[in-house]
């Protein structure tokens, strides 16, 4: 008797299915890893020569982490960056953002993802030159269908957060490099993304401005819990990163935990001192 | 073939498609900015349209003037032969203008590869890029054609006036239709402006397609 009574009726089954469907997106958001790559290979054809830019990269990035991808030119750093950011497809292997396999997405879904889940920051700032700072920040919101008033309010709020509220009406050519990058950061945050992807954010900035930008990114990472993934040459990034991924010749050479970096260096210094030697400066 | 059903992103595919859009008003605003701020480049494109439409409108005005003075009716065959030659020249002019527009716009696409790539990173679909380029082209077409039509008509009217006497101006049908049911000045004017705009938009199709093919990764490229 019990079995028949315990089986859900047709209507009940439908309601359960509806509930499951609604929970699906929430389930996806609860995943601990926001970006995962599995054995990613990328091969380019330069004329007749095959260039193996990535040779089997597997990594997991946790939600809310601040990751720096470092490596010399030609190491595959930018290629990996492109894979993670959905800007390019791997030759083999998979990239998952929020447990969603990017290879399964069509053009609309990719655009949706880029608009709402990922914010991009570039070395060359890439602000639209014919638009003011505020309009640049509002542009992703236009694509996301946010109404005009809300766009404006949110845009001004973001500009205020990055310290540029008085320059909302200025066009990019009227702003310094550091200011342009701040506008770019505000723009990247426009739709409250889960990930910020930064490609050499301090590459075109002087030391002091670069430091300010890095600090701003770290603050935002801690305030909003947004995952920051940065491909960079800049050693100043090491300090604020939770983990540093070193890439060489298309493969991961090393993944360093920031706490370990500090601790190991400190240990080395301590050991050297105890032996009576003068330690190398880190 | 459009896919339907649930997307791996947790929404239905229809919802996703609905959630990305660029309203025409916004596309217009952005395109207007590009046209007015990069005025030099816009003028280069608009001036070829200006010249072609000026020529076209001048020929149309000449037809009206010839009919007004009675020259057309005197020797219809000679008139028709002359008109055929002029129509052929106008057509050639339009073809040359088209190649000019295509080159100028292709150059514009090359210069703007980074902006277009960036827009794609912000979530723009290919069709948004096409929309923006076509609106830009039609704006340049509109202004170039208007200016061209006015200047072409005025010059021809002045020339005809000097040659045949300004009294012929009163005999020209200014409205949409002449008393005999043929085209009037206004009809020719509107048709010329439309021809210029259509030329501009059609010429922009190839460059717009090229622009739409740019990838989001182009935003990261450091060379042209």
> Does A265 score more than 70 pLDDT?
no
How large a percentage of chain A has pLDDT more than 70?
Answer: 83
How do residues B82-101 score in pLDDT, each as one tens digit?
Answer: 889 999 999 999 999 999 99
Q: Does A203 touch chain B (CB under 8 A)?
A: no
Partners of B122 on chain A (C-beta within 8 Å) are 114-115, 120, 139-140, 143, 187
> Does A34 score more than 50 pLDDT?
yes
Count of domains forming chain A: 1
Domain region containing A261: 2-117+193-274
Mean pLDDT of all residues in chain A?
Answer: 86
Q: Do B222 and A105 touch (CB under 8 A)?
A: no
- CA A203 to CA A14: how far, in whole Å? 55
- CA B94 to CA B98: how far, in whole Å? 6
Beta pairing, strands A227-232 & A49-62: unpaired
Distances A40 to A45, A88, A178 between C-alpha atoms, Å: 17, 12, 34
How do residues B133-149 score in pLDDT, each as one tens digit?
Answer: 999 999 999 999 999 99
Task: Return the CATH number at A13.
Answer: 3.40.50.300
Nearest alpha carbon to residue A55 among A76, A71, A70: A76
Q: What is the pLDDT of residue A269?
A: 64
Partners of A87 on chain B (C-beta within 8 Å) are 121, 215-217, 220
Q: Do A142 and B23 touch (CB under 8 A)?
A: yes
Domain for residue A181, yes or no? no
Calculate how close chain B gets to A201, using CA atoms only, in Å: 11
| Residue B220 pLDDT level (bands cut at 50, 70, 90) | confident
Q: Do A145 and B34 touch (CB under 8 A)?
A: no
- CA of A201: which chain B residue's CA is closest? B220
DSSP A157-203: HHHHHTT-GGGTT--GGGS-HHHHHHHHHHHHTTT--SEEEEESTTT
Give yes or no for a contact between A87 and B121, defined as CB atoms under 8 angstroms apart. yes
Nearest by CB to A105, from B8, B11, B114: name it: B8
Domain for residue A280, yes or no? no
Q: What is the pLDDT of residue A25?
A: 58
Nearest alpha carbon to residue A203 among B222, B118, B112, B223: B222
Partners of A69 on chain B (C-beta within 8 Å) are none
Nearest by CB to A115, from B23, B123, B215: name it: B123
Nearest by CB to B9, from A113, A128, A129: name it: A113
Q: Does A141 touch chain B (CB under 8 A)?
A: no
- CA of B13: which chain A residue's CA is closest? A109
> Does A7 score more than 60 pLDDT?
no
How do residues A200-223 score in pLDDT, each as one tens digit?
Answer: 999 999 989 999 999 999 999 999
ipTM: 0.84
- CA of B117: which chain A residue's CA is closest? A126
Would you state the structure tokens that stand for residue B193, as one six-digit string? Answer: 């402006």
How many Cβ pairs closer than 8 A exist between chain A and B?
Answer: 112
Q: How many C-beta neighbours within 10 Å does residue B10 have?
A: 19
- CA A222 to CA A23: how far, in whole Å? 27
Q: What is the pLDDT of residue A122?
A: 93
Domain for residue A144, yes or no? no
- CA of A26: which chain B residue's CA is closest? B10
> Does A144 score more than 50 pLDDT?
yes
Q: What is the pLDDT of residue B67?
A: 86
- In the predicted model, what is the mean pLDDT of residues B30-47? 88
Q: What is the pLDDT of residue A1?
A: 46
Query: How deeply is B19 buried, as exposed, middle or buried, from its count of CB atoms within 10 A (0-12, 13-18, 19+)?
Result: middle
| Residue B1 pLDDT level (bands cut at 50, 70, 90) | very low
How do residues B174-188 score in pLDDT, each as one tens digit?
Answer: 888 888 888 889 999
Q: Do B125 and A107 touch (CB under 8 A)?
A: yes
How large a percentage of chain B has pLDDT more than 90?
Answer: 54
Q: What is the pLDDT of residue B42?
A: 87
Q: Does A120 touch chain B (CB under 8 A)?
A: yes
Check residue A163 and give left, alpha or beta (phi > 0: left; psi -120 to 50: alpha). Answer: left
How do residues A126-136 score in pLDDT, each as one tens digit?
Answer: 999 999 999 99
- In the predicted model, what is the mean pLDDT of residues A9-31? 64
- CA of B29: which chain A residue's CA is closest? A131
Q: What's the CA dihedral at B186, B187, B192, B195 to 10 degrees? A: 150
Interface test with A, best of B31, B125, B220 (most A CBs within 10 A): B220
pTM, full prediction: 0.83
């Amino acid at each position: 008797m019990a079995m028949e009574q315990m089986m859900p009726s047709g209507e009940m089954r439908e309601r359960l299915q509806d509930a499951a469907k609604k929970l699906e997106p929430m389930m996806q958001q609860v995943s601990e890893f926001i970006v995962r790559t599995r054995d990613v290979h990328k091969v380019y054809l330069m004329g007749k020569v095959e260039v193996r830019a990535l040779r089997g990269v597997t990594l997991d990035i946790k939600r809310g982490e601040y990751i720096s991808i470092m490596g010399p030119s030609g190491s595959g750093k930018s290629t990996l960056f492109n894979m993670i950011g959905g800007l390019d497809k791997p030759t083999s292997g998979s990239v998952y953002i929020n447990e969603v396999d990017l290879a399964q997405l069509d053009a609309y879904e990719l655009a949706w993802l880029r608009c709402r889940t990922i914010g991009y920051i570039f070395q060359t700032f890439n602000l639209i030159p014919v638009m003011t700072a505020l309009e640049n920040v509002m542009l992703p919101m236009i694509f996301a269908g946010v109404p005009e008033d809300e766009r404006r309010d949110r845009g001004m709020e973001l500009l205020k957060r990055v310290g540029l509220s008085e320059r909302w009406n200025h066009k990019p050519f009227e702003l310094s490099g550091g200011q342009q990058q701040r506008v770019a950061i505000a723009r990247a945050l426009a739709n409250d993304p889960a990930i910020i992807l930064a490609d050499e954010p301090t590459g075109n900035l002087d030391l002091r401005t670069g430091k300010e930008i890095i600090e701003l990114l770290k603050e935002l990472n801690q305030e909003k819990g947004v995952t920051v993934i940065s491909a960079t040459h800049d050693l100043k990034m090491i300090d604020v990163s939770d983990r540093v991924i070193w890439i060489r010749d298309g493969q991961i050479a090393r993944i360093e935990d920031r706490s370990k970096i500090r601790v190991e260096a400190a240990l080395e210094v301590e050991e050297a001192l105890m032996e009576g030697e003068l330690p190398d400066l880190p | 073939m459009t896919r339907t059903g649930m997307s791996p992103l947790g929404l239905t595919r229809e919802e996703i498609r609905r959630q990305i859009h660029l309203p025409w008003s916004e596309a217009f605003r952005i395109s207007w900015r590009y046209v007015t701020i990069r005025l030099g480049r816009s003028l280069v494109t608009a001036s070829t349209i200006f010249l072609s439409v000026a020529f076209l409108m001048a020929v149309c005005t000449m037809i009206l003037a010839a009919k007004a003075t009675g020259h057309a009716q005197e020797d219809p065959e000679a008139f028709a032969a002359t008109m055929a030659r002029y129509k052929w020249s106008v057509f050639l002019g339009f073809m040359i203008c088209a190649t000019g527009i295509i080159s100028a716009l292709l150059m514009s696409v090359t210069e703007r590869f980074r902006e277009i790539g960036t827009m794609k990173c912000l979530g723009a679909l290919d069709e948004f890029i096409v929309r923006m380029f076509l609106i830009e082209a039609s704006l340049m077409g509109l202004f170039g054609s208007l200016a061209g039509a006015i200047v072409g008509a005025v010059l021809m009217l002045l020339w005809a006036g000097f040659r045949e006497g300004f009294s012929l101006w009163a005999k020209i049908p200014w409205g949409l239709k002449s008393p005999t049911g043929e085209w009037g000045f206004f009809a020719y004017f509107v048709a010329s402006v439309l021809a210029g705009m259509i030329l501009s938009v059609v010429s922009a199709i190839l460059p717009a397609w090229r622009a739409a093919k740019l990838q989001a990764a182009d935003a990261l490229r450091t060379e042209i």
